[in-house]
């Protein structure tokens, strides 16, 4: 079964707080890709990061960091020192060999960052 769960529907933080968005996935494949996308209020979907299943190194990009743990099937996303511009819906996604590397998305987590 191919599934992505983002249990947090909405998160509200105050600017400069750190926030972690959770993502848990299910797949039977050993080769797969995980992604995070950002959808700001303007509506476009912006690619943030891709990880393949053989690379468990955590990644940091500025205030963004990602923690990939195969043991718990999780790919969590942390924003450090959040800013109002981080307010958006964030989607975690999984692409595996089910149905020819179809990419499915979690339900999204809406992040509100208040000034």
Q: What residues line the site for another protein (CB under 8 A)?
A: 33, 35, 37, 39, 43-45, 47, 50, 52, 89, 91, 93, 95, 99-105, 107-108, 110
CB 16, min distance to another protein, A: 26
CB 112, min distance to another protein, A: 14
3-state SS class at 84: helix
Measured CA to CA in angstroms, residue 67 lies from 43, 49, 50, 94, 101 at distances of 26, 12, 12, 15, 23
Residue 15 or residue 33: which is nearer to another protein going by CB?
33
What does the radius of gyration of the chain's CA atoms come to, in whole angstroms? 14
Residues in the chain: 115
CB 97, min distance to another protein, A: 10
């Amino acid at each position: 079964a191919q599934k992505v769960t983002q249990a947090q529907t909405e998160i509200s933080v105050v600017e400069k707080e750190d926030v972690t968005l959770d993502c848990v996935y299910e797949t039977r494949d050993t080769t797969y890709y995980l992604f995070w996308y950002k959808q700001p209020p303007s509506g476009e979907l912006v690619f943030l990061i891709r990880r393949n299943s053989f690379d468990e190194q955590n990644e940091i990009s500025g205030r963004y960091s990602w923690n990939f743990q195969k043991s718990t099937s999780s790919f969590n996303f942390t924003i450090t020192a959040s800013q109002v511009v981080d307010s958006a819906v964030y989607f975690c996604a999984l692409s595996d060999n089910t149905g020819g590397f179809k990419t499915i998305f979690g339900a999204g987590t809406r992040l509100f960052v208040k000034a």
